[in-house]
């Protein structure tokens, strides 16, 4: 192992990852050695500064054959295991290509994309949403491989949680909205789908590439109905591209219609599963101690219920 190669672990990443989490702190402490190990194992040369997301550290590298790539370091989790399964199933079709993977540590070697050019940099929202919708249509065309989490199980767990969670919301109208979302999920749970979903396809999870103009990154693959994948797109650049138009209803419906048309979805089912995402976000927020819903959640759910 070549431990002489300096690996930059940003302070903000280390602090957030290890907060109140002994295993996270231990993993952060071991990161430089882990990175050096895989630089040697996969014959990689570090190139440039690291960057990070919520749960991973990404190091630009060059392979022995001179091609550019990135080394993605993350703890082994259900998310990281699912990501490798999904990326293999997609095989680079509309998504970043998986070049190598170590299941024991969760480490991935991925195709290098242009991190400085996310889809959120495209000013024309209709153009950006069309690009996203076309990528999403390609992704959900693939049947989910065995071994992924299934929407049916996630939906059932959400419905079990609703009675305990809803009273934490201060506003009775928001309580009613969450219960309405739960009712929509209950009607659809028996037909939860079998497509390979990205689960987090928003503008900043699509980067410019060389192999294709735009490619998706950071999937959290899930087996289910494509309607459950629409929320992150509807919420993308909410203030700048939706609220700033002065007509939130029109902007939301324009996005929803564009997405459902591109994916060939039944709008009623897509509405129901989008309400399922509002429910999921609400439950996560309540678990984090919040007592009110995010304005975008309320707006999108209300608009779709009235359409």
Q: What is the pLDDT of residues 70-101, one digit of tens each?
A: 999 998 887 778 999 999 999 999 999 999 99
Res. 3 pLDDT band, cuts 50 70 90: very low
Q: Which residue has the higher pLDDT, 24 or 204?
A: 204
216: pLDDT strictly greater than 90: yes
- CA-nearest of 35, 27, 30, 44 to 6 is 35
For 68, phi then psi, to 5°, come to -85, 145
Q: How far is the C-alpha of 40 from the C-alpha of 37, rounded, in Å? A: 5
- pLDDT, mean of residues 291-297: 97
Q: For residue 14, what pLDDT is reported?
A: 81
Per the CB < 8 A criterion, the answer to whether 139 and 216 are in contact is: yes
Res. 50 pLDDT band, cuts 50 70 90: confident
Helix 267-287 crosses helix 295-306 at what angle (to 10 degrees)?
Answer: 160
- pLDDT, mean of residues 41-46: 96
Res. 26 pLDDT band, cuts 50 70 90: confident
CATH 3.90.1200.10 occupies which residues in the chain? 116-305
| CATH classification (class only), 11-112 | alpha beta
The architecture of the domain spanning 116-305 is Alpha-Beta Complex (3.90)
Res. 2 pLDDT band, cuts 50 70 90: very low
Please say if 204 is a catalytic residue.
Answer: no
Q: For residue 55, what pLDDT is reported?
A: 83
6: pLDDT strictly greater than 80: no
Per the CB < 8 A criterion, the answer to whether 227 and 270 are in contact is: yes
Q: Which residue has the higher pLDDT, 67 or 80?
A: 67
Catalytic member of 79, 125, 200, 229: 200
Rounded-to-10 torsion of CA 227, 111, 113, 82: 30
The chain-wide mean pLDDT, for the chain, equals 94
């Amino acid at each position: 192992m070549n431990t002489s190669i300096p690996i930059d672990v940003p302070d903000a990443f280390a602090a957030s990852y290890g907060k109140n989490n002994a295993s996270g702190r231990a993993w952060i402490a071991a990161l430089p050695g882990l990175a050096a190990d895989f630089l040697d194992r996969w014959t990689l040369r570090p190139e440039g500064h690291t960057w990070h997301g919520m749960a991973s550290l990404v190091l630009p590298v060059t392979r022995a054959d001179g091609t550019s790539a990135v080394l993605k370091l993350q703890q082994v989790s259900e998310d990281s295991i699912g990501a490798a399964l999904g990326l293999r199933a997609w095989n680079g079709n509309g998504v970043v290509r998986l070049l190598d993977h170590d299941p024991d540590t969760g480490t991935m070697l991925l195709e290098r994309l242009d991190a400085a050019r996310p889809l959120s940099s495209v000013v024309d929202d209709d153009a950006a949403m069309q690009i996203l919708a076309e990528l999403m249509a390609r992704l959900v065309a693939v049947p989910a491989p065995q071994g992924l989490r299934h929407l049916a199980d996630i939906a059932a767990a959400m419905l079990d949680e609703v009675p305990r969670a809803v009273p934490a919301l201060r506003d009775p109208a928001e309580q009613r909205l969450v219960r309405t979302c739960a009712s929509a999920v209950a009607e659809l749970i028996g037909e939860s789908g079998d497509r390979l979903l990205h689960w987090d396809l928003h503008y900043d999870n699509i980067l410019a590439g060389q192999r294709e103009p735009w490619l998706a990154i950071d999937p959290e693959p899930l087996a289910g109905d494509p309607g459950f994948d629409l929320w992150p797109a509807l919420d993308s650049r909410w203030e700048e591209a939706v609220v700033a138009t002065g007509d939130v209803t029109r902007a939301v419906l324009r996005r929803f219609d564009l997405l459902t048309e591109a994916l060939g979805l039944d709008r009623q089912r897509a509405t129901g599963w989008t309400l399922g995402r509002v429910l999921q976000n609400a439950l996560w927020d309540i678990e984090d101690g919040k007592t009110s819903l995010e304005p975008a959640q309320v707006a999108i759910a209300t608009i779709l219920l009235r359409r």
